[in-house]
Amino acid sequence: MSQRHPAVGLGIALSSAAAFGTSGAFAKSLLLGGWSPGAIVTLRIGIAALVLLVPTVLSLRGRWYTLRRNAPLVVGYGLTGVAGCQLAYFNAVSHLSVGVALLLEYLAPVLIVGWLWLRHRQTPRRLTLVGVVLALVGLVLVLDLTNGARISLVGVAWGLVAAVCLVLYFLLAGHTEDALPPMALAGGGLIVGAAVLGAAGLTGVLDLTTGAATVTIGASAVPWWVPILVVSLVAAAFAYVAGIAAVRMLGAKVSSFVALTEVLFAVLFAWLVLGELPVPVQLLGGVLIVAGLVAVRADEVRAVAAERAERHTDEVPQPTARGGLAG
């Protein structure tokens, strides 16, 4: 990790978040053109896997044993964090607006807090509880339940499935060993996800229906491969590579905060590309959800800093009665 060029690292992190944020808007143009979510996800992940294949091989530097040792991790990551997460999200987008679908998916950190509490008895601290409350209140506002608006329960269900898959993505990524490069985990997961989705499509389990050869983006009619390339090269391959570069320059903590701006970029691109703009109460809900997520992450950072300070204090030699240092 390098802190010599924090401005450059911040720019790369923002570009990664913006790239991820283009996914829903361009994918929805395909959905409206009759393309199935399965076809979009399979093409997106397959093309991204091909693009990242060479960087993945180079990152291993011949240490193939690290990939074999972590095979269950890579497979699980590909099934849930890659294939499952993307498929659930695009199904949610087919029933909800892009912003609502993405905000539902980003409830994952709140679910992680609940999992750690129930499974590992890690009682959440005050700031974490504040973040959870903010996120849940924001969810109610985003769904506009107070206004009696009709909500697609199918879309909400898919959004929550995407959130669960994102939880598994974080949990599995957090168990990787240092010998397995992040690029290898990302590239391997994309390959596994593409293979599974392709096999499911060939056997008829997954609907790979392709729609119109021409789709509408804004007021323009474009060939189908234009949004496919955007979601594959920009919102997948480039976004993953830029994200890895940002983490190396800024560190995981700072990069994770910047990554939350994907929600804002997604709403922005949905407005520019599809003309979707949330009503004011939904915008307020989005702000509260982001504020809640930031509070949860800030609490984690504060806890780590306190632990390091306590460890440093324990390591400082204590003065003896004669004025010298013990040990």
Q: What is the CA radius of gyration of the chain?
A: 22
Under a CB-based contact definition with an 8 Å cutoff, are residues 92 and 117 in contact?
no
Sequence-ordered list of residues with C-beta below 8 angstroms from that of 198, at least 6 positions apart, any chain = 42, 46
Round the average pLDDT of the chain to a whole number and report it. Answer: 81
Tens of pLDDT along 84-136?
A: 988 888 888 888 877 778 778 878 878 877 887 888 777 778 888 888 888 88
Model confidence, pTM = 0.74
Q: Is 123 left (phi over 0), alpha (psi -120 to 50) or beta?
A: beta
Q: What percent of the chain has pLDDT over 70?
A: 83
Under a CB-based contact definition with an 8 Å cutoff, are residues 165 and 81 in contact?
yes
Under a CB-based contact definition with an 8 Å cutoff, are residues 45 and 275 in contact?
no
Residue with tokens 């180079």: 58
What is the chain's percent helix, strand, coil content, to nearest 5? 75, 5, 20
Give CA–CA dist 245/186, Å, rounded. Answer: 13
Q: Check residue 312 and report its DSSP letter.
A: H
Tens of pLDDT along 136-175?
A: 888 778 766 555 555 789 999 999 999 999 888 877 776 6
- Of 1 and 231, the structure prediction assigns the larger pLDDT to 231
Q: Is the pLDDT of residue 258 over 60?
A: yes
Q: Is the pLDDT of residue 216 over 70?
A: yes
Domain ranges, ordered by start, for the chain = 6-123+152-277
